[in-house]
Structure 1
Amino acid sequence: MKKLLFFFLLMPILIWSQSNFDKAEKLFQAKKYQEAQPLFEEVLKSKPLDIKTMDYLGEIEAHQKSWVKAAEYFKKLKELRPTTADYFYKYGGCLAMRAVEVNRLKALGMVGEMKESFEKAIILDPKHIPARWALIEIYLQLPGILGGSESKAISYSNQLAQLSSVDGYLSRGRIDVYFERYTLAEKNYIKAHEIGKSKITFQKLYNLYLNKLKDPKKARELKQKFES
């Protein structure tokens, strides 16, 4: 009898919680993040270990650039789901974005945990492309004395090339741009654009012509061809 009574008392809460979740999910999909957030937070009060709700809240905090709060959600998620690569990647990404905001000394202290998170994502999902991009940026941005390494960045670029030829050429172009090898970057971006023919590949090559090679004619011709 007690179990039955508990069931009937609990049912309205569960129905209300699911109703709020459905509303919040629709708002999130419509990019109405501020409206969705309080609804998800209410759901989490009644279901404190709900994976989807925490994931949505982490994404909302990230959209709002609240990197510390977002990291807290993704840290909890990677603890609850230690075999899900994306939670490690998202946690590392929040740390990386937070590192941009803090002083250099504090940022350097966060690098180890960032790398571990991205490396773990790759272990869990050997085809994880974004984690490799993140590691390329870390090895480019870090000073050599603190672990920065062009060769390691190239190593991850080579891994990307095996998974996606477009990402391989784009990442190699990114490395060339970082070291101001703009002619080599152009060759890699051209190859990426020939294969991908996407807005991303166009933008990389267009920006290179306009901002690095200072060749507005090539930029204009590329834009006209892409838009046609």
Structure 2
Amino acid sequence: MNAQNSFSQGVKSMEEESFTEALLDFKKVSEENDNYWKAQEYIGDIYAQQEKWDEAVEVYEELVETFPQSATYNFKYGGALGMKALTLSKMQAAFYISDIKLYLKKAAELDPNHIEARWALTKLYMQLPGILGGSTATSYEYTEQLLKISPVDGWLSKGYVANEDEDYKAAENYYKKALEIGGSVICYKELIQLYEEKLDQQEEAQQLIKEAKEKHPTQNWTKN
């Protein structure tokens, strides 16, 4: 199988979620091939899907070094570093924080409409302790950016921050706004979970579940 066929077969295997076969195919694509770098991105994506963060970081790092102005590669590299940091002790993870911030911020700067990077930054600043730069105010800054790009993501992210900050009434208000605009499964789930777990408003939760079932009948609304 030549390199071009290897790439095509790799894409086909990816679509079929046969990731082990896809990885083998993409690794056969040579540097001379026009699809080499795309194959490398797929390799990184497969490692990420398999939660092999060391390998994913290595691949994405090379992509960022080769294409430093790519928002996608900066986001994937920063994200993989973040996931790797989660597997380490707090002391070890602290050494990765500055790079995680750097590459996620660069992705957001390179692409003013990059939703995933802004979501990642929103969550990062909420999860970090203050001594490492964690800040509710900074998280809210990214939710404002999200609000301008995608109102549903903006209100959902504000709900997330308020929820993490234990301001549950504010979270309820934000999630209601997201639900009003979006009406998606995730909008319903976030508000239902808030009612059930944080506000102890079981009647409101049940009413919302009933509404959700009517709007999204194929979705399983039974609590696991």
Task: Normalising by structure 2, report the TM-score.
Answer: 0.90
Structure 1 CA distance for aligned equivalents of residues 152 and 36 of structure 2: 37
User: How many equivalent pairs are there?
Assistant: 214
Structure 1 CA distance for aligned equivalents of residues 60 and 184 of structure 2: 31
Question: How far 1:220 moved relative to its partner?
Answer: 2.2
Would you say 1:140 and 2:126 are equivalent positions? yes
AA of the residue aligned to 1:64? Q
Q: Which residue is equivalent to 2:97?
A: 111
Within the candidate set 182, 185, 188, 1:202 is matched to 188
CA gap 1:211/1:105 in 2 versus in 1, 3 angstroms: same
Deviations 1:96-119 (A, max 9, x none): 111111000111110000000011
Structure 2 CA distance for aligned equivalents of residues 145 and 21 of structure 1: 46
Contact 2:4–2:33 (8 Å) recurs in 1: no
Structure 2 CA distance for aligned equivalents of residues 227 and 134 of structure 1: 30
Would you say 1:222 and 2:208 are equivalent positions? yes
Q: Which protein shows a greater Rg?
A: 1
Which residues of 2 match residues 131-210 of structure 1 at below 5 A?
Answer: 131-210=117-196
Contact 1:21–1:39 (8 Å) recurs in 2: yes
Contact 2:136–2:165 (8 Å) recurs in 1: no
Question: What SS is found at the alignment partner of 1:197?
Answer: coil
Structure 1 CA distance for aligned equivalents of residues 60 and 34 of structure 2: 14
Percent identity over the alignment is: 38
Within the candidate set 39, 45, 53, 1:59 is matched to 45
Which residues of 2 match residues 88-103 of structure 1 at below 5 A?
Answer: 88-103=74-89
Would you say 1:25 and 2:11 are equivalent positions? yes
Contact 2:29–2:35 (8 Å) recurs in 1: no
Within the candidate set 83, 92, 95, 2:69 is matched to 83
Which residues of 2 match residues 9-24 of structure 1 at below 5 A?
Answer: 16-24=2-10
Q: Which ranges of structure 1 fall in alignment gaps of 5 or more residues? A: 1-14
CA gap 1:26/1:115 in 2 versus in 1, 3 angstroms: same
Structure 1 CA distance for aligned equivalents of residues 142 and 185 of structure 2: 23
The structure with the greater share of residues assigned to helix is 1
Runs (4+) of structure 1 exceeding 4 A deviation are 44-49
Q: Which ranges of structure 2 fall in alignment gaps of 5 or more residues? A: 215-224
CA gap 1:91/1:224 in 2 versus in 1, 3 angstroms: same
